[in-house]
Amino acid sequence: MKVALVGYGRMGVELEAVLKTRGHEIIRRVDALGNGDVTVLDSAALEGAEGIIEFALAEGMLERIAIYSAARLPVVIGTTGWESLAVKAREIFEAGGNAGRKTENGTKTAAGAKPGGTPGAALLRGSNFSLGAHLFFRLTAFAATLINKADEYDAALVEYHHNKKADYPSGTAITAAEGVLASLDRKTHILKDLPDGPVPREALQVASVRVGAVPGIHEMRMDSPADFLTIRHEARGRGGFALGAVRGLEWLRNKQGWHEAEEFIDDLLI
């Protein structure tokens, strides 16, 4: 495939290496910070592309979603920090990039409307595309079901990343926490920031550490007065993330519509 990379930081460099290894061609590197071939994402930047992979900053995500939908290409998005915009982003994508925008006759397109349809447009979204991270998601969710009736066990998550990472908690940590929260009845909400006093028992704390060059460590700790258990995923580098994203694009190329990473991983595992 001829691939356009949107965002050309450390992950972009890693993606380029994996893409070349798997026989793909990088036709353009789009980076707002000036590290690529062009700084502006528009239709010209995507000309000639057969697929897109984005690992960029969350700022401007809705505008980029509209561009991707209009381009009618498969796109893998590994950018994190825009979870609260996901519903609106999907509306824009499924409306062909025009959700809530005025049409030529002055009316607004409805959420979910598909003016002209979106043939060829496909999007795969995930906080993490590495197989190991998804095994971590499933193991932590299952562990939560095991301690659901064992009230003596408390649970929390901790994530460590390099000191250049802008968002916190990481998208991977939030995904894991959502799985635990769904399986552990005594936890009612996720606590992302520092608590004002003791952590309430009903809060599932997700703590973040930013230090050095850590590519990514995620832990779930289950703690009781008698003992504790830890489930830990530690990335050796960015290679696993990059390989998963490239395989995700290969998986997406003959599909249409909005997809979550769990669908892609299911096809790998089942």
Which active-site residues does the annotation give?
161, 165
Residues 233 and 217: beta-carbon distance below 8 Å: yes
Tell me the Cα Rg of the chain.
20
Closest CA to 153 of 98, 228, 88, 102: 228
Q: Quick one: CA torsion of 201, 206, 207, 212, rounded to 10 degrees? A: 160
Length, in residues, of the chain:
270
Q: For residue 194, count CB atoms less than 10 angstroms from its CB and return exposed for 0-12, middle for 13-18, buried for 19 or more.
A: exposed
> DSSP alpha helices (H): ranges in 162-205?
171-183
Residues 45 and 68: beta-carbon distance below 8 Å: no
Residues 70 and 93: beta-carbon distance below 8 Å: no
Closest CA to 9 of 173, 252, 171, 242: 242
Closest CA to 41 of 97, 85, 83: 97
